[in-house]
A and B are shown apart, each in its own frame.
Chain A
Amino acid sequence: MTEMNYPRLGEKLYRRVLPNGLTVLVAPRPGFTRKMAYFVTDFGSIHRKFQLEGEEFTVPAGIAHYLEHKMFDLPGRDVTAELAELGANVNAFTSYDMTAYYFSCTEHFEQSLKLLLEFVSTPYFTEESVDKERGIIDQEIGMNLDAPDSVIFEQLMEGMYQKHDIRTPILGTTETIRQITPKNLHLCHRAFYTPGNMVLCVVGDVNPDRVAAMAEEILGQEQRPVAKKCPISAENLTCPIAEQSRKMEVAMPTFQLGFKCRPIGTGPDAVRQEVIGDLAAEALFGESSPLYLRLYEDGLIDQSFGGGFETVDGCAMLTCGGDSHNPRAVRDAILAQAAVIAADGVEEAAFRRMVRSALGRRIRDLDSFDSTCFRLCAYYFSKFDYFDFPAVYETVTTGEIRDFLKEVVQRERCSLSVIEPLV
């Protein structure tokens, strides 16, 4: 495997692309007991239209997540139980643009890795088991309908986007999941669970060559075709709905505010855009910004307030939110402050301090196995080496931050999603 060194972070990364197309990443952690493996496909809830072997398909909303649930079945075997006996803690999640299967363990790493590679690469669905899962996913959907955080974000996406599939909940709805069958699950597996569309990432005290050799042995040498996702049509940057509110069983009003940004694509330039977005969020409403202090002192926001720059295939946004008795006043204050920064710029010394702080937090975050594994995978799909982040932070300029805020933080780019208490 190719070995790369990042002395500044005290990190190493081994990397290899196998003949079957799978990329394997290993970040060693000598002296640690825990080992973590992520096996991830570049396929999420928004990838509902694609071409495979010349034919075009549209699949029901919620299928990526449904597939994630069903991958744990193998004929006559219970993978979860087998992993549990090895002491491995296995789980999975589906996001808008990826599906990840992962485990963490302290012993029997190779046996656990073998199982992970086997079950994710082996589709096995029966009418009966697919039907049975529906009851469980119905309850998961019900749980989300009662969770203010997910309702408020889904409402925000409806307010910000006209066409993009981010408007549809990751889980789909009780109606759409009734269109899911063993047949379309097989189709999605064939389309997106091919090694060329996936990455295997391991963090821990393991032998990198063994990881690559095992992946090659279990997944085979053959390169299979990967589906072509239908391009996401570009959207107008104006938000279709400026403001929405609904009532729920919550204690006090809570809000999410989103500003629509240009999609950023992939590669180093995209990552630079992302860091600019992050730092701009810090400069505008981060905890050490003048605006944050003022809003907090005035009682318009509390500790629940937070935000940042988010990207999903085909969309990007600056968001913030939390509990507030007056979300509209928070929105107006943010718009006004952005206008001030657009006119006056960001002070150089303050900006350097912000960068140092952001870098320090990122470095500390490397102690987390979960976060490191997740970021290595997510940045891999963005075609960027995650451990190269310090150089990006250090070269961003105050001018870039000002230009970003000037462009993005505008009334027509903005949508507000509010949940109010019932009484």
Chain B
Amino acid sequence: MIQTIQLMPGVQLRCFPAERFKQGCLSFQFLRPMAREEAAMNALIPAVLLRGTEKRPDLRSITLHLDDLYGASVGALVRRIGDYQTIGLHCSFIEDRFALSGDQVLAPMVGFLEELLLNPLLENGVFFNHFVQSEKRNLIATIESERNDKRAYAAAQMLKKMCAADSFGIPRLGEVEQVEAIDAPTLWAHYRKILRESPVEIFYVGTGKPEKLAQWLRPIFEKIHRQPVFLPEQSPFRDGGGGDHVQTMEITQAKLVMGFVTPITNRDSRFAAMQVLNTLFGAGMTSKLFMNVREKMSLCYSIGSGYYGSKGIMTVSAGIDAEKESVVRSEILAQLDACRAGDITAEELRSAKEAILSGLRGVHDSPGSIEGYETTAAIGGLPLTVDDYRRAVEAVTSEDVMAAAASVTLHTTYFLKGIDA
């Protein structure tokens, strides 16, 4: 089970000892408020850190070092967890026992992380300008290329409209104009502030001893004069936007996205019931939406719902023929009405619960999913261990699901269609 060690105030190390994997996993996350004025800067920082250090001043020397560490990977981490934006680095590497005898991987990885975090390549006392400019271009390209995936694009547009007054409407990577405005001195000052003030969550899965890790990691933070500033707790959805929106693009298939709100968040005792409702209604191949809109009516190939527990938002998205919009929309609402009315079979309830339970039972089967679940729960305010969560799901009745469905109301719709449609 997880062992939590506070390295110093505001710096938590959580270790999940595991012998059965071939790789270890280590993540560093700095917690920031999700805010318009800094989202783009935060998103840019990990990419700049990964460009070069004093000792390894270019990409090639970094990748060669990772090759030496048996193909270890270090990636930029930028997550949205409720009201927070977390940024940092995520590493995976083989366990020492698979290296040639005598070779170590974990210890040098920690050393390399320190190098990336504390000794980036500088120019005139701030980030190396060429790295900042080239990563700005990359970040802009990444933000703009969201358009390429029409489903993700439509979902993001809907959330922007729905969450005009909530941090959830701020794009995870910020906006293009904000990226354009960044320069090396400002970014460096912001990074110094993050190092000094931001709460830090470190997560490790593997065979290394937690005490050993703490002993390696603590000095990294002792080198910074930390003055931690703690963040406000996660907050529920703040209403502001809404409405019905239509946009056209040169595309073949239209996308309909509907946003719903519920007072039930992951801090609520009805959370498990809300998860079961979401699964039964729209997630997976036996959901009401899949079985009716797709299988019975052949109106789409992809349809599904998602529930953002940190905010109490449920979304439905479907790729459809533009002419069929009103049929699809009313069928989606009719299926939700069926849930509210308790038109739920024992099989539907069992399948929905099993799907969630099966996912939960498997959480501890890969380093990535352990890291994902545990850090998101710790940071996002989900007060349930995997086992508590399982028990809560097992206890959900169809009445609980009906009540959860009754709490859900339609808030915003967004329809993306072809120019000729």
Contacts and interface: CB of A to CB of B under 8 A. Distances in A.
A332 to B, nearest CB: 21
B301 A140 contact: yes
A91 B58 CA distance: 43
Q: Which of B69, B284, B301 has the most CB of A within 10 A?
A: B301
A251 B147 contact: yes
Interface stretch (A113-121, A221-229, A270-278, A360-368): A360-368
A34 B364 CA distance: 9
A356 interface: yes
Contacts of A366: 22
B145 A250 contact: yes
Contacts of A133: 298
A406 to B, nearest CB: 24
Contacts of B367: 367
A356 B142 CA distance: 31
Contacts of B94: 360, 363-364
Contacts of A132: 298
Contact of A84 (B137, B149, B286): B286
A31 B138 contact: no
B213 interface: no
A45 to B, nearest CB: 17
Given A84-B285, A139-B300, A356 B68 contact: yes
Nearest to A294: B60
Interface string A389-423: 00000000000000000000000000000000010
Contact of B137 (A80, A89, A149, A299): A299
Contacts of A361: 71, 73
A32 B20 contact: yes
Interface string A135-158: 111011011011111000000000
B118 interface: no
A287 B251 CA distance: 34
A357 B93 CA distance: 10
Contact of B362 (A34, A297, A360): A34
Contacts of A233: none
A333 B301 CA distance: 41
A132 to B, nearest CB: 5
Contact of B350 (A85, A147, A360, A368): A85
A214 to B, nearest CB: 20
Interface stretch (A100-108, A182-190, A259-267, A313-321): A100-108
B150 interface: yes
Contact of B252 (A91, A142, A251): A142
B90 to A, nearest CB: 14
A353 interface: yes
Interface in B279-336: 284-286, 294-295, 298-302, 319-321
Contact of B355 (A34, A89, A137): A89
A143 B154 CA distance: 13
A304 interface: yes
B300 A251 contact: no
B23 interface: yes
B354 A86 contact: yes
A33 interface: yes
Chain A interface residue number, banded: 35 or more
Contacts of B253: 139, 142-143, 145-146
Contacts of A248: 250
B362 A367 contact: no
B350 A251 contact: no
Nearest to A366: B22
B98 interface: yes
Interface in A1-50: 9-10, 29-34
Contact of A360 (B71, B357, B358, B364): B71
Contacts of B70: 356-357, 359-360, 363
A146 B92 contact: no
Interface in B136-189: 137-138, 141-142, 144-150
Contact of B144 (A91, A107, A149, A251): A251
Interface string A336-367: 00000000000000000110111111011011
Contact of B319 (A134, A143, A252): A143
Interface string B224-261: 00000000000000000000000001111100000000
A303 B138 contact: yes
A367 B22 contact: yes
Given A84-B354, A136-B301, A139-B319, A363 B145 contact: no
B67 A249 contact: no
A232 B263 CA distance: 60
Contact of B71 (A149, A252, A303, A358): A358
Contacts of B387: none
Contacts of B222: none
Contacts of B361: 33-34, 106-107
A139 B150 CA distance: 14
A363 B362 contact: no
Nearest to A252: B141
A87 B354 contact: yes
B37 interface: no
Contacts of A304: 141-142, 145
A135 B23 CA distance: 44
Interface string B67-90: 111111100000000000000000
Contacts of B137: 299, 302
A145 B299 CA distance: 17
A139 B294 CA distance: 10
A133 B302 CA distance: 13
Contacts of A251: 141, 144-148
Interface string A224-252: 00000000000000000000000011111
B19 to A, nearest CB: 8
A293 interface: yes
A252 B144 contact: yes
Contacts of B362: 33-34, 104, 106
Contact of A293 (B59, B98, B141, B354): B59
Given A90-B285, A323-B145, A353-B68, 20 more contacts: A9-B98, A84-B286, A84-B355, A85-B350, A91-B285, A104-B358, A136-B300, A137-B301, A139-B321, A146-B252, A146-B253, A149-B148, A250-B147, A251-B144, A251-B148, A296-B134, A302-B142, A360-B72, A363-B98, A422-B250
7 contacts: A90-B285, A105-B358, A249-B249, A249-B251, A288-B66, A360-B71, A368-B366
Sorted nearest first, the 9 A-B pairs with minimum C-beta distance are A360-B70, A135-B298, A87-B354, A360-B71, A251-B144, A357-B71, A84-B351, A357-B67, A106-B361
